Structure 1
Amino acid sequence: MIAFIVGTTAELIKMAPVFHELTGRGRNCEIWYTAQHVEELSGTLIDLDLPAPAEWLVPEDGAGNLAKVKDVPGWGLRLLRTVASRRRHLAQRLASDGQPPLVLVHGDTFTAPLGALIGHRLGARVGHVEAGMRSGSLRHPFPEELNRRVAGRIVDVHFAPTETEAHNLRGRRGAVVTTGANTVVDAVKYALARPEGPSVELPAEFAVATLHRFELVRQENQYREVLEILREHSERLPIVYFAGASERARLSSCGLLDLFDGERFRIEDKLNYVHFLPVLARARFVVTDSGGLQQETGHLGIPCAVHRAHTEVMAGEGERFVLTRLDAGRLRGFLDDPERYRSAGTLGTYHPSRVIADAIETLT
């Protein structure tokens, strides 16, 4: 049996195409949930046609979103305590269909290294989807870069998006499979094929902005600076800023909500994935600190400014996107002429979930 150990909505989004590819081939797959995100879970499962978690590795009763760093130790202890108390049951479940047991983890959340450790403790081989991504700095982003490096030392099969990530894994234990691209490309294709349309009224032309990373929003002056630049540019083209509850709370505590005028520079609630992708596909350009959104805009060919100090994916920098390194001048330079970073997109080029499923059939 194949257990997908995931804990966030982003992991579900990027693992959903792999799940569907494997179940479509008759493989027995389950979702085992670590509950880093809880409030968004039910809607995300419905949107992605995924089943409810077969196992909650943190007791479902009392589980809640990890909103702060101080929440992590308690969550980790509950996770390890639950797995330890149910170890025999979980191991039997993994072996229940007579196939070699396999655990798949994803990306760079706390669930990735912990899920890999759990898989090994249960006697399963472990595969890491989106393996080998490196920013080159342990502090940017932290703790994601550390999570990736720890997972890279534990797993048995590394599913690396490109040859760059495969090269980063040289000398590591286990097999390395290059998938050609991140599975987010399959998730984008899936979302755009859904019949649901945008659930927010938008102008004929607009840009999209999202900013949420701790390295930016904890620096009030830098946070204010980038928002003021966006507001200034919205006089040329309306900008829609999508924010979740935690971002709104930060904006309120910093006194920044007054920067939004409700027309040219609007703030809207975050949309679920299948509603957001059609909005994203219409955007003239994007300003974000999200690594996932950076990759989605690249596959769609949409100009993007990545407002971060470092990013894990540098392919296309200066051609399809700009890494601002949190520099206001670089951001303004992008906004002066975002069209120079538009590309043809690559949606029809790659099928990474298919490559992963092919490899799993060979390896197991």
Structure 2
Amino acid sequence: MSRRIIFIAGTTAELIKIAPVMHELKRRGRRYGYWSTAQHSDGVAETLADLSIEQPELLLVDDAHARGVVSVRQVPGWLLSIGRSVAKNRRLIKSELHQGIVLVHGDTFTTVIGSLIGRIFGAQVGHIEAGMRTGNMWSPFPEEINRRIVGRLAHLHFAPTSREVANLAKVATRKGVKVICTGANTVVDSLREVRDSLRPTAFNLPARYGLVTLHRFELVRDRDAYRDVLYALKEFSRQFPLVILIGKSERERLHEYDLENVFDDHFRRIDKSSYRTFQSILMGASLVVTDSGGLQAECAALGIPCAIHRTHSEQDQGIGQNVLLTGQNIDTLNTFLQEWETFRRPPCLDQFQPSKIIVDEIDSVWNA
């Protein structure tokens, strides 16, 4: 069998950011495959449809674990299921991956698993969104550890900016390793691909509103920190309406912490929707409060005022311009909420084409 390019992904965020690379490969006539770890199940089918991605060729878990991981306690069983699936399909995996390329993205458990599978079965491993570091092993946890592990496993490191390239300076000295600066996060390509076809949502949102997304383990598993930020946002929503997108994991925490009564007509709760619906909400928002690194990159490209409610960020895109890192400090967040209009900047969405740079490098490796 000829060498293949295989994407291994498991979360909706990974799908969003690998989709433009898939599309660029397809435009050049390159064959590729997509294997899933089913780390997420909520919204995946809609995301695949929105991004014109076919269903995975191979599901790396059994049926019992294909419903996604929504809590830390589910991780061990999910990992064991992947191990069993890889063992069961080892001949197929070896024939597909030998001397091929495995592409992974970001900092999830799937990123580590995909890199290990690639290494074990003789493929070169390419890491999209490589080199991001906070400098704190435990923040965010486990993402920072995952990044460092993949940094040792990958052969091709696709770093978004010069900062990430500098973080990989030692890695770049290893034999068989190459660091490539893509100029930006691939999410800007995803945004550009969908922006002209977006339609108004059916949510009947106000003319001006703020968008909130808060989902990271280190925040939502901390009852006090999660409660404090939600009540701070509720207070602000009396001045300016807010919309918060809630997924399955957050719904469980809200119920567990008895926080479901935080929301009202001014601080409106909406279940997570498809990628296109989310982008319509984002592009209509006046400001954003989030703990998402991906949304940080999107806001940086769009120029939307954005508060990153985390103690550390692994990237500096937009920071010091339209993005403020709160340090997970409520006073800092409140300052942003009072001054958010001063953070707006012109968009720079059309300045970068990272997916083309990634595929250029893959072509170079393939033809070497």
What is the TM-score normalised by the length of structure 2? 0.94
For residues 283-315 of structure 1, give each alpha carbon's deviation from its aligned partner in whole angstroms, at most 9, with x where no partner exists: 110111111111111111000011111111124
Residue 32 of structure 2 is matched in structure 1 by: 29
Find the counterpart in structure 2 of residue 306 from structure 1.
Answer: 308
Query: Hey, what does 1:63 align to over in structure 2?
Result: 66
Question: Which one of the candidate residues 30, 37, 51 is aligned to 1:48?
Answer: 51
Moved more, 240-249 or 47-56: 240-249
1:140 and 1:310 in contact (8 A); partners too? yes
What do the CA deviations read for 1:147-169 (whole angstroms, capped 9, x no partner)? 11000001110000011101111
Question: 5 Å matches for 1:170-181?
Answer: 170-172=169-171, 173=174, 174-181=177-184
Q: Does 1:246 align with 2:245?
A: no
Establish whether residue 223 from structure 1 lines up as the match of residue 222 from structure 2.
no
Name the residue aligned to 2:120.
121
Aligned residues of 1:191 and 1:273 also touching (Cα < 8 A): no
Which amino acid in the other structure matches residue 122 of structure 1?
F
- Contact 2:296–2:317 (CA<8 Å) still a contact in 1? no
The C-alpha deviation readout for 1:117-140, integer Å capped at 9, x for no partner, is: 111222111100000000111111
3-state SS in 2 of match to 1:150: helix
What's the Cα RMSD here? 1.5
Cα displacement (A) at 1:85: 2.6
| Contact in 2 for aligned 1:106/1:112 (Cα 8 Å) | yes
Residue 133 of structure 1 is matched in structure 2 by 132
2:78 is matched with 75
Point out the more displaced range, 251-260 or 2-11: 251-260
Amino acid at match of 2:180: V
Deviations 1:255-296 (A, max 9, x none): 2222212x2111111121111111111111011111111111
CA distance in 1 between counterparts of 2:97 and 2:153 reads 19
Taking the aligned partners of 2:129 and 2:16, their CA distance within structure 1 comes to 13
Rounded Cα–Cα distance in structure 2 between residues aligned with 1:235 and 1:41: 34
Residues 33-42 or 49-58, more deviating? 33-42
Q: Is the 8 A contact 2:103 2:126 kept in 1?
A: yes
**Would you say 1:159 and 2:161 are equivalent positions?**
no
Counterpart selection for 1:255 from 258, 274, 279? 258
Contact 2:43 2:273 in 1 (8 A): no
SS, match of residue 204 in structure 1: coil
Q: Counterparts of 1:210 and 1:311 in 2: how far apart (Å)?
A: 16
2:293 match:
291
What is the rounded CA distance, in whole Å, between the counterparts of 2:235 and 2:43 in structure 1?
A: 33
Residue 83 of structure 1: CA displacement? Answer: 1.4
Deviation at 1:319, TM superposition (A): 2.1
Task: Say if 2:342 is the partner of 1:340.
Answer: yes
Deviation at residue 59 of structure 1 after TM alignment: 2.7
> Conserved in 2, the CA contact under 8 Å of 1:233 and 1:335?
yes
Where 1:153 maps in the other structure, the secondary structure is: helix
Deviation at 1:193, TM superposition (A): 2.7
CA distance, structure 1, for counterparts of residue 285 and residue 21 of structure 2 = 27
CA distance in 1, matches of 2:57, 2:225: 43
The share of aligned pairs that are identical, in percent, is 47
Unmatched runs of 5 consecutive residues or more in structure 2: none
The answer (yes or no) to whether the contact 2:160–2:185 under 8 Å persists in 1 is yes
**Local SS of the residue matching 2:157:** strand
Deviations 1:196-230 (A, max 9, x none): 43231100111111112222222222222212221
CA displacement, residues 308-341 of structure 1 (integer Å, 9 cap, x when unaligned): 1111112432321111111111011101110111
Distance 1:343 1:206 in 2: 18
Structure 1: gaps of 5 or more residues:
none
Specify the alignment match of 1:206 in structure 2: 209
Distance in 2, Cα, partners of 1:279 & 1:224 = 24
Do the aligned residues in 2 keep the contact of 1:128 with 1:157 (CA within 8 Å)?
A: yes
Per-residue CA deviations over 1:226-271 (Å, capped at 9, x if unaligned) read 122211111221111111122122222222222212x211111112
Query: 1: distance between equivalents of 2:357 and 2:105?
Result: 16
Q: Report the CA distance shift for 1:60/1:51 in structure 2 as closer, same or farther (over 3 A).
A: farther
After TM superposition, the score normalised by the length of structure 1 is 0.95
2:323 aligned residue: 321
Match of 1:354 among 356, 360, 363: 356
